[in-house]
Amino acid sequence: MPSGIELRSAERRMLVVSHDPAFPPASGTDLRNHRNAVSAAAFGPVCLVSLRPRVAVKEAVDPPIRIEALSTEGEARSGSIGWWRIRAEHRISRSALARLETLVRDFRPDTIVVEGIGLFKLLPPLRPLTTQLILDMHNVESDLAGQLHRAGKARSAAARFATALAIRRLERKALSLVDRVWVCSNEDRGRLNVLFPRKVPIDVVPNGIPHAGDSPETLPAEAAADNGFPVILLVGHLDYPPNVDAAERLAGSIMPHIRQVLPAATLVLAGRRPKPAVRALAGLPGVELVEDPETMAPLLSRAHLTIIPLTAGGGTRIKILEAMAWGVPVIATPLAAEGLGFVENEELLLSDTDEGLADMAVGLCLDTERRARQRLRAHQAVWARFGPRAIRNAVRDGLGRDEAGA
**Angstrom distance (rounded) from CA 93 to CA 82:** 9
Determine the average pLDDT of the residues in 364-376.
97
Determine the average pLDDT of the residues in 282-297.
93
Helix (H) or strand (E) holding 200: none
Determine the average pLDDT of the residues in 375-384.
97
Tell which phi-psi region holds residue 389, choosing left (phi > 0), alpha (psi between -120 and 50) or beta.
alpha
pTM above 0.85, yes or no: yes
pLDDT in tens, 10-23: 688 999 999 999 98
Confidence class for position 402, pLDDT limits 50, 70, 90:
low
Q: What is the pLDDT of residue 294?
A: 86
Residues in the chain: 406
Q: What is the pLDDT of residue 7?
A: 38
Q: Quote helix, strand, coil % in the chain, to nearest 5.
A: 45, 15, 40
Percent of the chain exceeding pLDDT 90 equals: 65
Pick the CATH number of 213-386 from 3.40.50.2000, 3.90.870.10, 3.50.50.60, 3.30.1330.60: 3.40.50.2000
The residue among 315 and 369 whose pLDDT is bigger is 369
Q: What is the pLDDT of residue 405?
A: 45
pLDDT in tens, 103-136: 999 999 999 999 999 999 999 999 999 999 999 9
Q: What is the pLDDT of residue 38?
A: 93
**Angstrom distance (rounded) from CA 350 to CA 8:** 48
DSSP secondary structure letter of residue 25: -
Tell me if the domain spanning 4-208+387-398 has CATH number 3.40.50.2000: yes
Domain with CATH 3.40.50.2000 in the chain: 4-208+387-398, 213-386
Between helix 28-40 and helix 317-325 the angle, nearest 10°, is: 70
The residue among 211 and 404 whose pLDDT is bigger is 211
Q: What is the pLDDT of residue 312?
A: 78
Q: Is residue 256 within 8 Å of residue 360, measured between CB atoms? A: no
Closest by CA position to 199, among listed 226, 241, 168: 168
pLDDT in tens, 173-222: 999 999 999 999 898 898 888 888 877 999 999 999 988 888 999 999 99
Q: Is residue 289 within 8 Å of residue 271, measured between CB atoms? A: no
| pLDDT above 80: residue 74 | yes
